[in-house]
Amino acid sequence: MHAHAKPAARKVTGDNRPTFGIVGGGFTGTMLAVHLIEQSPVPVRILQFDRAAAFGSGVAYSTPNDKHLLNVRVGNMSAYDSRPDHFIKWLEGCAKAAGAEPRGPFVSRGLYGQYLRSTLSACLAAHPASSMIGVDAEVVSLSAGANSVELQTSDGARHAVDRVALCVGNFPPALPVKPQTGDSGEDRYFANPWSGGLARIGKDDDVVLVGTGLTMVDVVLDLHSRGHRAKITAVSRRGLMPLPHRDVGPYQAFLNPDALPRTVMALTRMVRREVEAAAANGVDWRAVLDSMRPQTQALWRGLPVAERRRFLRHVRPYWEVHRHRVAPPVAAEIEELLRAGKLAVMAGRLQAVELGATGISMTVKARGDKTVQRIEGSWLVNCSGPQLDYDRISDPLIRSLFDGGLARPDSLSLGLDLGDDYRLVSRSGIPSDVLFALGPPIRGNLWETTAVPDIRKQCEAVARHLTSTAA
């Protein structure tokens, strides 16, 4: 059962099944629900809340644009950590049913969304005594008791559950400077590129993007797939763009888990030395970075807070473009747009933004020569990536958690502070027995917690804990 709840939905009287609330309808929330149902020794009832009603796929995997490809090869994208070939087998089944050849190593994100919905449907069909209700409303606040939680949604309804898991994904970015807005100027600015309004951009309208990372790539591909032919200018502090994947073989781990570096300088030197040694033997740097994957979270946890802050300030932009790469066809299309002059990338510091009724203008101090340049266009799109300062997030649920003392930011305000078993830590430092978080909101605790291979492990672990304590 996967229905939409009425505004007055509450815990059903006489229904003794353990009831879990999941805030978020994307990969994290979906696979946590699957594992709760599959791992529980008794039938369960799940309420899944998503303001976009994107149940089973979330924003990331709801895109209908076939040019929006996964940034990870299909062999690493199984929804189950314990069943690594689950996605590949699903793809093979789809190809066989359609009488087509199996797809290549990078498939569309929309197709992956179909896979997640199929996985959820199969789980529900195999466990008919369990149920899942999709609530298409925003959770704006919650109150927690010793063994229960009540969630309030934007429509005024209250929902009682036994445990809540926050699977809220990323929050929209904020511009580094506050725009000066004239009459109707805000209509020219897309603060959230996923809000669905990009179709208003005309084919001959010049567009300015703030940010040159993965979001920029998605927006550029989206515009050009709809026939956009005017100029696109993308600006970021360093002008770095995601690098492409290449086929590389396995590389022997070079980090000693018992003696991991505890400073950013020691870590970067170690990685550079290894990359140089690998290159001397004809091995691509990608193989070296990929070999670090099993140790990345331990590396982060081993760094003192001051060193984590140093990493964010000096290393993070370079880490992002090397670590989170794009599919080769995507990289090739972006390269062609650059070559044709349809896309320009500028490195510089944003100083001012003006939004007017007919267009926008930005003042940018160029990196290097420090000259000040004025960039004009018809539209401005914020592609600067997720908001990584939870002190600045205006989301009502996050603000409610902080104001009520039920949660606190981690030491760097990258997300929510966590205790053991993914339990939220209150303002007074006490881990909750009923509130949990996983995925991007726990970035400050683990750093690498946004990709499917990382999150699927968390889903299994949290479900195991919840079904053993709430059943």
Q: Give the CATH number of the domain where residue 158 resides.
A: 3.50.50.60
Is residue 200 domain-shared with residue 346, that is, in the same domain?
A: yes
Strand ranges (DSSP E) for 50-118?
none
Is residue 286 domain-shared with residue 215, that is, in the same domain?
A: no
Residue 254 lies in a domain: no
Report d(CA 401, CA 139) in Å as an integer.
Answer: 11
Q: What is the pLDDT of residue 470?
A: 67
Is residue 236 domain-shared with residue 279, that is, in the same domain?
A: no
Residue 199 lies in a domain: yes
Largest CA distance in the chain: 71
Residue 256 lies in a domain: no
pTM: 0.92
Residue 253 lies in a domain: no
DSSP code string of 145-196: -SS-EEEEETTS-EEEESEEEE---------SSPPEE-TTGGGGEESSTTSS
Residue 362 lies in a domain: yes
Residue 258 lies in a domain: no
7 near 156, Cβ under 8 Å?
A: yes
Is residue 101 domain-shared with residue 128, that is, in the same domain?
A: yes
Query: Cα separations (Å) of 243 from 87, 174, 229?
Result: 25, 24, 24
Q: What is the pLDDT of residue 12?
A: 57
Q: Work out the burial of residue 451: count CB atoms within 10 Å of its CB; fewer than 13 is exposed, 13-18 middle, 19 or more buried.
A: middle
Is residue 158 domain-shared with residue 273, that is, in the same domain?
A: no
Residues of the chain with pLDDT under 70: 1-14, 470-471
Is residue 207 domain-shared with residue 331, that is, in the same domain?
A: yes
Domain boundaries, position 226: 180-243+326-382
Q: What is the pLDDT of residue 9?
A: 42
Residue 299 lies in a domain: yes
430: which residues sit within 8 A by CB, 6+ positions away?
none
Is residue 218 domain-shared with residue 345, that is, in the same domain?
A: yes
Residues 220, 223, 226, CA angle at the centre, nearest 5°? 145
Q: Choose among 6, 137, 116, 19: nearest CA to 58.
A: 116
Is residue 165 domain-shared with residue 53, that is, in the same domain?
A: yes
Residue 127 lies in a domain: yes
Is residue 200 domain-shared with residue 348, that is, in the same domain?
A: yes
Is residue 286 domain-shared with residue 223, that is, in the same domain?
A: no
Indicate the number of domains in the chain. Answer: 3
Q: For residue 140, count other CB atoms closer than 10 A to its CB.
A: 17
Q: For residue 3, count other CB atoms closer than 10 A to its CB.
A: 11
Q: What is the pLDDT of residue 56?
A: 84
Is residue 109 domain-shared with residue 11, that is, in the same domain?
A: yes
Question: Of 274, 292, 323, which one is at a domain's C-terminal end?
Answer: 323
Beta bridge partners of 180: 354
Report d(CA 304, CA 300) in Å as an integer.
Answer: 9
Is residue 111 domain-shared with residue 167, that is, in the same domain?
A: yes
